Structure 1
Amino acid sequence: MTDDLHKACEVLRSGGVIAYATEAVFGLGCDPDNEAAVQKLLEIKQRPIEKGLILIAASWEQVLPYLDVSNLSNEQLHRAFISWPGPYTWVFPAKRSTPKWLTGQFDSLAVRISAHPQVQALCRLYGKPMVSTSANLTSLLPCRTTEEVRLQLASRIDYILPGIVGTQTNPSEIRDVITNQLFRAG
């Protein structure tokens, strides 16, 4: 397992796109600060940059550099904190310095502190968050097994981190941290 995690980190550092297990489905990930890697991921997904992306991390400290929390109340922050780690994605105001290739057309960024042990280990070893989007082509269902990822995406991505998805049946719930508005049910 450790060798697989080290290989995944090497691929991320070199600007590659990896597939990895999350709480419900396999995700596609790359280094959020590498514009070329993000563009490659968007091409694989056939996803418009305007939609913005999610960052997945092992800790709050990993996503904080991308977020502007200066005007958030303790209650708003508490909403997110009590749900983490877990399959909950929260949309926060983004810092002006956060790249548009992450935020898309928005002034916000979606972030999740994952409870999946492999995601936790990978982000800790990598030392930062990853971009996270479901591992599938736009018209197909998200992959839930390593074999499904191989069949659908092996020729398009740089590495598949072997793993097993968690027990969640749906991708993460997405809410706005300021208004608590539900964007996607989990």
Structure 2
Amino acid sequence: MIITSDPIIIADILNQGGIIAYPTEAVWGLGCNPHNQASVIKLLNIKSRPMHKGMILVAGDKAHLAPWLVQLSPELQTKLTTHYLSPTSWIVPDQDIAPTWVRGEHQSIALRLSQHEGVQAICQAFKACIVSTSANPAGLDPALSLEQVLAYFRDNIDAVFDVPLGQSKQPSQIKSLLDDQVIRQ
């Protein structure tokens, strides 16, 4: 396992099918290349998370959201790409843009334009969205420190992006882009 603060190294690991741990706005996350089915399945297995639930994709720049933005009205595009006080992941219609192994049983996908500089750096180096799910095995609290990430996943991840955790007090809320219904507070 590699521990680094270099986003280029992290992007190379993602391109090779690796699983990474990285800090987000509030908690540590696990991520991988959403287009690499084997990586997504490995990530789901180490978390004991069922595929049918689907996962969040996190972007560092609105250009990474372009495939979804083109299908939205200008108002919805603005809502998806606006920065909010609390990190917000939006449930967005997905017409076979994201792979089924990321969407799960849904015809939508959860997307977040991250305000966390570390997440932005990873996505910029990777040149795309990455999978974002909390760094915790099912039933345990999300990791809030590098030490906790290592205690949970030391032998199951390929790299750790060692930059500071964001200052948000709770993980991203999840809302429906179309009607503002709160899915997770």
TM-score under structure 1 normalisation?
A: 0.91
Aligned residues: 183
Q: 1:105 to 1:69 in 2, by over 3 A?
A: farther
Higher RCO, 1 vs 2 (CA within 8 Å, ≥6 residues apart): 2
Q: 1:121 to 1:171 in 2, by over 3 A?
A: same
CA distance in 2, matches of 1:5, 1:80: 25
Whether contact under 8 Å (2:93, 2:108) holds in the other structure is yes
Give the secondary-structure state (helix, strand or coil) at the position aligned to 2:169.
coil
- In the TM superposition, 1:1-80 aligns within 5 A as 4-65=6-67, 67=68, 69-70=70-71, 72-80=72-80
Kindly provide the amino acid, as one letter, of the partner of residue 83 in structure 1. H
Match of 1:163 in 2: 163
Question: What per-residue deviation string (whole Å, max 9, x for no partner) do you get for residues 102-147 of structure 1?
Answer: 1110000001111111111111011111100000101210001111
Give 1:2 deviation, angstroms.
7.7
CA distance in 2, matches of 1:105, 1:68: 22
Of the structure 1 ranges 7-16 and 132-141, higher mean CA displacement relative to structure 2 is found in 7-16
Unaligned residue ranges in structure 2 (runs of 5+) = none
Q: 1:79 to 1:63 in 2, by over 3 A?
A: closer
Give 1:84 deviation, angstroms.
5.6
Give 1:3 deviation, angstroms.
5.9
Question: What per-residue deviation string (whole Å, max 9, x for no partner) do you get for residues 39-91 of structure 1?
Answer: 111101111110011001111221222x2753x43333332233369611011
Match of 2:141 in 1: 141
Identity %: 38
Match of 1:154 in 2: 154
TM-score under structure 2 normalisation?
A: 0.91
Whether contact under 8 Å (2:21, 2:30) holds in the other structure is yes
Kindly provide the amino acid, as one letter, of the partner of residue 48 in structure 2. Q
Q: 1:3 to 1:177 in 2, by over 3 A?
A: closer
Whether contact under 8 Å (2:81, 2:113) holds in the other structure is no
Give 1:5 deviation, angstroms.
1.9
Match of 1:127 in 2: 127
Give the secondary-structure state (helix, strand or coil) at the position aligned to 2:6.
helix
Kindly provide the amino acid, as one letter, of the partner of residue 40 in structure 2. V
Whether contact under 8 Å (1:114, 1:120) holds in the other structure is yes
Unaligned residue ranges in structure 1 (runs of 5+) = none
Whether contact under 8 Å (1:69, 1:92) holds in the other structure is no
Q: 1:34 to 1:123 in 2, by over 3 A?
A: same
